[in-house]
Chains A and B, each alone.
Chain A
Amino acid sequence: MKSAAQDRPLVEVHDAARWFDVSAPWLERVLSRKPRTLLRAVDGVSFSIRRGETLALVGESGCGKSTIARLLVGLYPLTRGTITFDGQPLSAMDGPGGLALRKRLQMIFQDPYASLNPRWRVGRIIAEPMLAHTSMSKPQRDERVDALLTQVGLHPTDRDRYPHQFSGGQRQRISIARALAVSPEFLVCDEPTSALDVSVQAQVLNIMKELQRSLGLTYLFISHNLAVVHHVADRVGVMYLGRIVEIADRDTLFKNPRHPYTRMLLSAIPDMTGAGVRRTPVAGEVPNPLNPPPGCTFHPRCPFARDLCKTESPPMLTQGVNQVACHGVAQGWPMYTEISVAAL
């Protein structure tokens, strides 16, 4: 029984969707006979995260990464599909015993300036989750706050200061300490370092990796920065317009990407090693998510698109733990014969 629970992925997302109603007001709709408009921010996403691993989701603005983060911690309800955490459906959060489930997953937000209450002292900010989730006494909480501050590389005396007295990187450490306060198993990190300078980003990423090792944490790491993702992730999912187009372990994805969009993203990374080397810019932009193209949503930008791509949505092709949704890959069209040699 115990071993079965150990083998089971900690988080399983099946066909999750989240649509937002962005219709014009009722009267305007009636007068100008407009239909309802739905923004399909996340539309049929499935993945699982094993205990102790880091799954990263990458993609450009508006691809639905942050919506998934919010779905996973229950900040948005699902429109369709299921998310289970350690075998329990996430919808149980709202029922009896939901608090116990919420305690096991926490979130770190992107902007450390907006996610900490400016009127509260750091000690109170970090202790708040303990008040909500545990029956710890005041001295116990204080002791835990001190331990947490030390753990994230701050000093216990920092508890009496206010957030504005800290720099961006230090604030992000406070966010991490707060998220760890109730000893969660799973952390959802939504662009935790994108508001930080590179040297500070390195400090925060190092701390996150150390904590993962010492506490056995499981991370969902959301970022648009592929270099950061390469550094932290065990597996990587690439998102485009609300869907996952490719998901693979890190080395496979970076060394042998299969979806044309993944290739495009990789080729767009500025290259530090070959200073002065030109990269091939990729044409086009992400289409309006309110009116996504039919078939494979990437086809207008894809250099290999054929008629099939314009009409039919590609199925998710599974090979072991790696998945890719592309007609070209599924049917073995000749793609990148010349590019792949040059790129590797």
Chain B
Amino acid sequence: MTAILELREVSVEFPTRRGTLKALNEVSFSIAAGEVVGVVGESGAGKSLTGAAIIGLLEPPGRISKGEIFLSGRRIDHLSDEEMRPIRGKEIGAIFQDPLTSLNPLYTVGHQLAETIVTHLPMTWSQARSRAIELLESTGIPAARERIDHYPHQFSGGMRQRVVIALALAAEPKLIVADEPTTALDVSIQAQIIELLKKLCREQGAAVMLITHDMGVIAETADRVVVMYAGRVAELGNVRDVIHSPSHPYTVGLMGSIPSVHQHVERLVQIDGTMPRLNAIPAGCAFNPRCPQVMSQCKVERPQLRQIGATRAACWLQKEKEHA
């Protein structure tokens, strides 16, 4: 399968008065057509920043300092805003966490949809309007013909997120970057939205980058998972392998700390401490101060991603295991 999206050792830096903060550090992964790749990690791990770097929406002074991003074989990380604009929306669709802030409150939903369609596809406004109605119907909005003339505030949270999904899919992009699309929603609505996102992407054959902190959502939706920690990829692999037989101690801890309704444990696995701040990322492996199996090597040398069992993980420990 050809990769729709490919990141090669992408680093993002924020120059500040007190020195340069490295928010992403040599992140590499790829997404094939029709594939859903989940990006997980805790707050501050760099998940959303990875998404922003791909869409070309890094907040200044943040900049890509190293590495390359390819979309269908074309390099996009060094494009200017002018060159990026037709790609954004047409080839990359974005869905953000809060559906209320991603819609313009002053325009009707139909206007916003039609505007996107007219901008990116060779259609007239009236054609775009009927396409917008189709899109709203495909996202499961009842009475789309009437709802199209409503304003965002007249929709509930779940319905708004459907509109945002319709908006992201309007120009049939090859890649969808969905940043925490269900976090602001109630559980019953969350299930509906995930199911919808999966169905539509399958139909359109779009590649999806699903950014979330919710492992449950990833488990149900993603084909592959990228686990991020302190701006680096800690582990990467098929969703089942990462969930059931993780290699990196961080992933192991993360999985154990999630309460389950299927089994009762008296105490949850806890990872002591917190993620390091960007200005105090420890030398060697960034996880070493919290790692229960830390070795002297971990404090000096940064581990690279390597194939360990079924997944790829950035950890020295497994190398030792292989030697033994």
Binding site for B on A (CB under 8 A): 60-61, 167-170, 197-203, 205-206, 209, 224-228, 230-231, 254, 264-279, 281-283, 285-286
28 contacts between A and B (CB under 8 A): A61-B186, A168-B43, A169-B274, A199-B254, A199-B257, A201-B257, A202-B258, A202-B268, A202-B269, A202-B270, A227-B216, A230-B264, A269-B261, A270-B190, A270-B191, A270-B215, A270-B216, A271-B219, A272-B215, A272-B255, A272-B258, A272-B260, A273-B262, A276-B239, A281-B191, A282-B188, A282-B191, A285-B158
A217 to chain B, nearest CB (A): 16
- Across the interface, do A272 and B191 meet the contact criterion of CB distance under 8 Å? no
Chain B residues closer than 8 Å to A224, beta-carbon distance: 186-187
CA distance A115 to B306 in the complex (A): 44
When A197-B213, A278-B220 are in contact, do A231 and B239 touch as well, CB less than 8 Å? no
Contact A227 B260 (CB under 8 A): yes
Chain A residues with CB under 8 Å of B216's CB are 227, 269-272
Does B271 belong to the interface (CB within 8 Å)? yes
Task: Among B188, B255, B265, point to the contact of A268 (Cβ < 8 A).
Answer: B188
Report how far A273 CA is from B257 CA in the complex, Å: 14
Are B187 and A265 neighbours in the complex by a CB distance under 8 Å?
yes
Tell me which of A203, A228, A275 contacts B240 (CB under 8 A).
A275
The complex places the Cα of A282 from the Cα of B189 at a distance, in Å, of: 8
Q: In the assembled complex, which residues on chain B have CB atoms less than 8 Å from the CB atom of A206?
A: 267-268, 270
Complex Cα spacing A317 to B195, Å: 35
Is the Cβ of B195 less than 8 Å from the Cβ of A281? Answer: yes
With contacts defined as CB atoms under 8 Å apart, how many contacts are there between chain A and chain B in the complex? 132
> Which residues on the A side are within 8 Å of B267 (C-beta)?
206, 209
- Given A270-B220, A275-B219, decide whether A198 and B42 contact each other with a Cβ distance below 8 A: yes
Whether A199 lies near B271 (C-beta < 8 A) is yes
Task: Give the complex CA separation of A274 and B216 in angstroms.
Answer: 10
Interface size on B, residues (CB 8 A): 45
Distance (whole angstroms) from the CB of A116 to the closest CB of chain B: 17
CA gap between A182 and B242 in the complex, in Å: 45
| Minimum Cβ distance to chain A for residue B185 (Å) | 9
User: Is the C-beta of B308 less than 8 angstroms from some C-beta in chain A?
Assistant: no
Mark contacts of B242-256 with chain A using CB atoms, 8 A cut-off: 1 yes-contact digit, 0 otherwise. Answer: 011000000001111
Among B159, B216, B259, B270, max chain A CB count under 10 A is at B259
Nearest first, the 4 A-B pairs at minimum CB distance are A270-B216, A202-B257, A231-B259, A197-B42
Cβ of B268 and Cβ of A60 under 8 Å apart?
no
The answer to whether A227 and B258 have CB atoms under 8 Å apart is: yes
Residues in chain A near residue B266, CB distance under 8 A: 209
Q: Which residues of A have CB within 8 Å of B258?
A: 198, 202, 227, 272
Specify which chain B residues have a CB less than 8 angstroms from the CB of A227 in the assembled complex: 216, 258-261
In whole angstroms, what is the CA distance A342 to B216 when docked? Answer: 20
Q: Are A268 and B215 in contact (CB under 8 A)?
A: no
Beyond A266-B261, A281-B195, 11 additional pairs, beta carbon < 8 A: A170-B274, A197-B213, A199-B254, A202-B258, A202-B269, A209-B267, A227-B260, A269-B216, A275-B239, A275-B244, A281-B188
Distance of A225 Cα from B261 Cα, bound (Å): 10
Given known contacts A206-B270, A230-B261, A254-B261, A276 and B240 CB-to-CB distance under 8 angstroms? yes
In the assembly, what is the distance between CA of A281 and CA of B158, in Å?
13
Contacts of B244 in A (CB 8 A): 275
Contact between chains at A282 and B192 (CB < 8 Å): yes
Q: Are B187 and A226 interface neighbours, CB within 8 A?
A: yes
Q: Counting CB contacts under 8 A, is B203 at the interface?
A: no
Provide the bound-state CA to CA distance between A141 and B194, in Å. 51
Question: A228 near B270 (CB under 8 angstroms)?
Answer: no
Closest residue of A by beta carbon distance from B274: A167
Chain A: CB-nearest residue to B214:
A270
By the criterion CB–CB under 8 Å, are A276 and B188 in contact?
Answer: no
Q: Does B272 reach chain A (CB closer than 8 Å)?
A: yes
> Does any Cβ of A come within 8 Å of B118's Cβ?
no
Q: Is B217 positioned at the interface, with any CB of A under 8 Å from its CB? A: yes
B156 within 8 A of A: yes
Q: Tell me the chain B residues, 95-121 only, with Cβ under 8 Å from chain A.
A: none
A286 to chain B, nearest CB (A): 7
In whole angstroms, how far apart are the Cα atoms of A268 and B188 in the complex? Answer: 5
* Shortest distance between the CB of B162 and any CB in chain A (Å): 11
Question: A231 with B274: in contact, given A269-B187, A278-B220 (CB under 8 Å)?
Answer: no
Q: Closest CB of chain B to A139's CB: distance in Å?
A: 32
A266 to B188, CA, bound (A): 9
Partner of B264, one of A200, A231, A267: A231
Q: How far is the CA of A268 from the CA of B158 in the complex (A)?
A: 14
Kindly state the separation between the CA atoms of A277 and B194 in the bound complex, as whole angstroms.
12
Given known pairs A197-B42, A275-B220, A281-B192, the reply for A268 and B259 (CB within 8 Å) is no
Q: How far is the CB of B127 from chain A (nearest CB, A)?
A: 31
Question: Max chain A CB contacts within 10 Å: which of B239, B253, B262?
Answer: B262
B259 x A285 contact (CB < 8 A): no
Task: Tell me if A230 and B239 are in contact (CB < 8 A).
Answer: no
Minimal Cβ-Cβ distance residue in A for B41:
A197
- For residue A282, which residues in chain B have a CB less than 8 angstroms away from its CB? 188, 191-192
Q: A60-B186, A231-B259, A266-B261 are in contact. Are A199 and B253 (CB under 8 A)?
A: yes
Q: Which of A203, A228, A283 has the most CB of B within 10 A?
A: A203
- B73 to nearest A CB, angstroms? 29
B214: chain A residues at CB < 8 Å are 270
Q: If A226-B261, A254-B261 touch, does A231 touch B268 (CB 8 Å cutoff)?
A: yes
Residue of B nearest to A153 (CB): B272
Let me know if B42 and A279 touch, CB within 8 A.
no
Q: 1/0 contact trace for B152-190 toward A, CB 8 Å? A: 000010110000000000000000000000000011111
CB atoms of B260 and A230 under 8 A apart: yes
With a cutoff of 8 Å between Cβ atoms, the chain B residues found around residue A226 in the complex are 187, 261
Find residues 34-75 in chain B having any chain A CB closer than 8 Å to their own CB: 42-43
Closest A-chain residue to B45, C-beta based? A197
CA distance A267 to B190 in the complex (A): 12
Question: Please, which residues of chain B bring their CB within 8 A of the CB of A199?
Answer: 42, 253-254, 257, 270-271
Q: Are B257 and A275 in contact (CB under 8 A)?
A: no
